[in-house]
Chain A
Amino acid sequence: MTPPTPAPPPPPPPLEIHDLTVTYHRRPVLWGVDLAVPAGKLVGIIGPNGAGKSTLIKACMGVVPIAGGWVRIFGSPLSRAHRRVGYVPQRESVDWDFPVSVMDVVLMGRYGKIGLFRRPSRADRDIARACLEKVGMLPYANRQIANLSGGQQQRVFLARALAQESDLYFMDEPFAGVDAATEAAIVTLLHELRDRGCTILVVHHDLPTARNYFDMLLLLNLRRVAFGPTDEVFTYELLQKTYGGRLTILSEVAEAVRQHGAPIP
């Protein structure tokens, strides 16, 4: 009798973080964060200012150096998994006077798929156009990016992320400074992506809407306070722990660490 073939191992989660520590000028900004995000979920990252929310995303994307711990994307380090990851950075991170058009920016989303010496093909352009259409920005394809409103700029970034055709998306404050109509459109789009099986992590700043938009929430303040389905995690006690008090004990310790000049680089 042949032994039963073992079930194939479960696929690795889209994002797995273990004991992640990130410092900035000798002060820890993220401390020992553990996280395993299941596939097909829309996750909101919330916490007070300076809690390390943007830093978490940047550490996952390799934009800031990691002082301790590791990050795995679909079981591999970022350097081998970048084709499956899409990134929408903060709007302030870009110089909007750069001489490129809306179409140019969205085409950049295809660069990860195009090789070193090749140019974007007709198929790439069609995909870019489709993505622009999806966010309602196709009429603006040839406009230079400075001549757009805040909401329109955000949509262009989103279209670029869509053009990447990724399975895991990181978005850093996509709703900052956008009008209500754009916000609703973005949320609809995110839900569509999620329904298609993508996993999306969004840094978000507004508590009331966080409860409605996201399937799961990560409460972050220097370290992970809680992570789980929104209904379970969005409680008074946990929110108090995340936001409450100007200096949590951990912040005081972090400050003491910095002042005594000891160990953290």
Chain B
Amino acid sequence: MNLSTLIPTFDVQSVVIDPWTTDFSEKGWILLMGFLTSVACGWVGQHLLLRRMALMGDAISHSILPGLATAFLVASFLFGQRSESSHAARDSSVMLIGAIGAGWITTLLIGLIHRRSRIKQDAAIGIVFATLFAIGVVLITLFADHVDLDADCVLYGEIGFVPFQETLRAFGLTLGPVPVARMAVVTLLTVLATIFFYKELVISSFDAGLATSLGIHAPTVHLLLMGWLSVVVVSAFESVGAILVIAMLIVPGATAALIVSRLPSLFTLIVLHSAISSVAGLHLALWLDCSIAGAMVVAGCFLFTLAWATHALLRARDQRHLIAQPLPTPTPL
């Protein structure tokens, strides 16, 4: 076991100092991308957690793949191969269409199986996402030259390439790499939507029947939420990959839930969690020379573990108090 070759020495200069100074023009974009992705995913994921649908996030992030593959295939047949004329806006819209389409098809198929047979929802989710994902893998393997997706990238993304993507130029300014700009827009829209539609989202999560009777049609809200989830997932896809996106959906919200109970505070804590995990993750990846996105997720999980441990210790302390103190005797009625 050659751990020494596996874990490089911890060189303070290159791991901790350089990213903020000399390499900042490159590493800064990576940090920003990680932060934005985590915030967007975390906020959407919090809605999923409220509805106890965390694993729908799992399902949709897998089934995005065939949507993207199909969309790129269709686009390449319509507009010629990708290498000829690459246009950021067109690429984005192709991706979005593919993603939203895939997200809605997933939701519809799961509902179809679940309602029309005695298969329960959990099995329906498992069957649908795996089938769609399998179709996606087959598509990208068969049509590798038409579809610019690589199997490895799908799984763990490569956030490290983000600074080297084509830069977006608008209003005469250089706004930064295209993926970052895209993610920034998505994040902003997510935050705004959550704020403006706060009541509707919360009521339909809490009591779908009540919501529908008040005129907030719960199934439509669900479908729209799934659509937006697809948008967020596909925007995160490129940098984080299909599977790690699931972590970014769930971990920030779960960590926050261990610390506070009020919903607005949850959303704020998610932002804080995203910031810390992005920074810590970058440093971790620079040290261990591993997948940056993976490291960011690992950092986020570490934060969760800390919160969990603290929570458990506090509970144990309360329990010790209980044994020491006598129970209040109920006053006779």
Residue numbers in A under 8 Å from B6 (CB-CB):
none
Considering the complex, give the chain B residue whose CB is closest to the CB of A96.
B118
A263–B321 touching, CB < 8 Å: yes
Cβ of A234 to closest chain B Cβ, rounded Å: 18
Number of interface residues of B (CB under 8 A): 13
A interface footprint on B304-333 (CB within 8 Å = 1, 0 otherwise): 000000000001001101100101101101
Residue numbers in A under 8 Å from B331 (CB-CB):
249-250, 253
- A21 to B327 Cα, complex, angstroms: 11
B322–A31 touching, CB < 8 Å: no
Residue numbers in B under 8 Å from A32 (CB-CB):
327, 330
A241–B333 touching, CB < 8 Å: yes
A249–B330 touching, CB < 8 Å: yes
Considering the complex, give the chain A residue whose CB is closest to the CB of B314.
A261
8 Å CB contacts to B: which residues of A89-117? 97
Residue numbers in B under 8 Å from A253 (CB-CB):
328, 330-331
Cβ of B155 to closest chain A Cβ, rounded Å: 35
B118–A97 touching, CB < 8 Å: yes
B328–A257 touching, CB < 8 Å: yes
B118–A223 touching, CB < 8 Å: no
Number of interface residues of A (CB under 8 A): 18
Residue numbers in B under 8 Å from A223 (CB-CB):
330
Asked if A184 is at the interface of the complex by the 8 Å CB criterion, the answer is: no
Considering the complex, give the chain B residue whose CB is closest to the CB of A262.
B321
B interface footprint on A56-70 (CB within 8 Å = 1, 0 otherwise): 000000000000100
Residue numbers in A under 8 Å from B325 (CB-CB):
262-263
A249–B315 touching, CB < 8 Å: no
Residue numbers in B under 8 Å from A31 (CB-CB):
330
Residue numbers in B under 8 Å from A241 (CB-CB):
333
- B residues sitting closer than 8 Å to A (CB atoms) are 118, 120, 315, 318-319, 321-322, 325, 327-328, 330-331, 333
Identify the 10 closest CB pairs spanning chains A and B, nearest first.
A263-B322, A265-B319, A250-B330, A97-B118, A263-B325, A263-B321, A249-B331, A241-B333, A264-B322, A249-B333
28 sample A-B contacts, Cβ–Cβ < 8 Å, listed by A number: A21-B327, A32-B327, A32-B330, A97-B120, A146-B118, A223-B330, A241-B333, A248-B333, A249-B330, A249-B331, A249-B333, A250-B330, A250-B331, A250-B333, A253-B328, A253-B330, A253-B331, A257-B328, A261-B318, A262-B318, A262-B322, A263-B318, A263-B322, A263-B325, A263-B327, A264-B322, A265-B318, A265-B319
Known: A250-B331, A257-B328. 19 other contacts (CB 8 A): A31-B330, A32-B327, A32-B330, A248-B333, A249-B330, A250-B330, A250-B333, A253-B328, A253-B330, A253-B331, A262-B318, A262-B322, A263-B318, A263-B321, A263-B325, A263-B327, A264-B322, A265-B318, A265-B319
